[in-house]
Amino acid sequence: MHERLSYVTGSDNASFWVLVVSLLALLLVWRLRTKALPLPPGPPRHFFVGNAPDLPRKFGHLGFDALCKKYGDIVYLDAFGIPLIILGTQQAALDLLERRSATYSDRRFSVMANLTGFSWFFAVNPYGPKWRKARRAFLETMNPNAIPQYRSVGERAVRRYLLRVLEEPDKYRSNALYMYNATIIAVAYGLDVHAKSENHKYVKIAEQTMKSFHEAFTLGGSHVERFPILRHFPSWFPLAGFKRKLPEWSADARRLRDEPWEAAMTALNEGRATSSMASILTGDANTEEEVTIAKGACASAYAGMYFSMFATFAMFMAAMVLFPETQQRAQAELDSVIGPDRLPDIRDKEQLPYLSALLVEVFRWQPVVPTGVSHLAMEEDEYRGYRIPRGAVIIPNPWAYSRDANLYPDPEEFRPERFLKDGKLELGDLDPSTSVFGYGRRICPGRHFAEEMVFTTIASLLHCFDISGPKDKDGHPVKFELKFMNVSPMLPEEFECNIRPRTEAAESLIRAVCSESELAEMI
């Protein structure tokens, strides 16, 4: 019996090692085969700079789309030795970034984030334990089941906004920016922000910090990210001038992360705090690392959400001016479902399929992050017979996907009905959120709250107001041409529009839904 057992054990060991050697051999063959595969097609590369001259300087989504139309669905570029892969179709983006998310969830290490202290913004962090902890904290407070506790905050912000539009319609844009600012600060920290409150200062802090963020990652970031050695050079050295601004950018990054958090902790200790991301996360934070992660998650909510919501709202306003028939159809639906005596809210969404489709069409028509957010290949890969090098930066192009006439006939037209079937919202494979909110493990974790907030805004605004295009001094319509600012998220240039209460009853409703205390807080 003992001899029999020894024989079996020896046989099993031999089989095990045969299996290991076979797997190693297959891995080696796969790697050699992958190395032998061609890179995706792309423009010819130049000495030292590679394809740097081919990179679009402005409105990158248009330049990347042109490259894909010339070279194919996936295009290879080399920028000073950094491999870039442009994904020209939604199918390619889904295949790699969604279905192979384990391989493509990384981010290129950001030298500028490290220099400025913006590394608390987990969206810029590489994939790893730190990122996973930060995302977990964010999802704990921003998952679909957590969002209902913030709805009263959003609804109050919308009511205040309606009153502002009623009193000063020409400032509809700046007041919308303030509304989304104040909403995220309230959700993240439980701080009620209005013009005459002490908490108003946090809006100023947040606005200044995001200005610094965009300066840091555009004015200086492009150079130091390509040539990290620049961080060691003096500020007078060519391309190192960004170092003169580092103290200012770093101070702003710390202020946004620390000051609203400290105010939220003071409110908690004094027993006057409302439910917020900070109040939830601080209960789970038992170590210094956990507190740091919680602070970063709250600040990331602001940095990642407020301007995207505002940009989406601005695109909606442009659509209402350019396509007034869609406004009229949405208002007819609101009148039949809501009636004249109350405002719509998110609980009405299922009964408002056309309005729901209208918001989806806003996402598709002008994606506010047209080139999406880049990913990083964590290992060598193969796709459609091409080699994807490890460390390649993968760039999707949601704007191009939204222009795919095979999916969206007449893509430049604003047609909410493309998402309706038999009077019901039906997205299926046409859902643009599969690209506009990101892919895989890097999908925007705040998308559910952002979508609810924007829906509540546009439903309430259309229920109470008519929106029309600019007019000349004699009251005649002026031709309106939509132009964009070269910023991210993409934003329409400011445009004039006429906003008027639909009826006297609508004006009375706006005044009635704001309490006396809220009226006193308005500018």
* Residue appearing with tokens 């409703």: 509
Angle among Cα 307, 310, 313 to the nearest 5 degrees reads 150
- d(C-alpha 60, C-alpha 338), whole Å: 42
Can you read off the two tokens belonging to residue 304? 């990642």
Distance CA 89, CA 406 (A): 11
Q: Which residues contact 379 (CB under 8 A, 6 or more apart)?
A: 103, 390
User: Phi/psi class of residue 6: alpha, beta or left (left: φ > 0; alpha: ψ in -120 to 50)?
Assistant: alpha
**Mind giving me the DSSP string for 92-133?**
HHIIIIITTTTTS-B----HHHHHHTGGG-GGGSPSSHHHHH
Cα–Cα distance for residue pair 31/11, rounded to 1 Å: 30
Asked if residue 514 belongs to a known ligand binding site, the reply is no
> Can you give the three-state secondary structure of 311-371, one letter per residue?
HHHHHHHHHHHHCHHHHHHHHHHHHHHCCCCCCCCHHHHHHCHHHHHHHHHHHHHCCCCCC
Could you tell me if 364 and 402 are in contact, meaning their C-beta atoms sit under 8 angstroms apart?
Answer: yes
Which of 409, 328, 326, 406 has the alpha carbon at shortest distance from 362? 326
Binding residues: 444
Binding residues for heme: 444
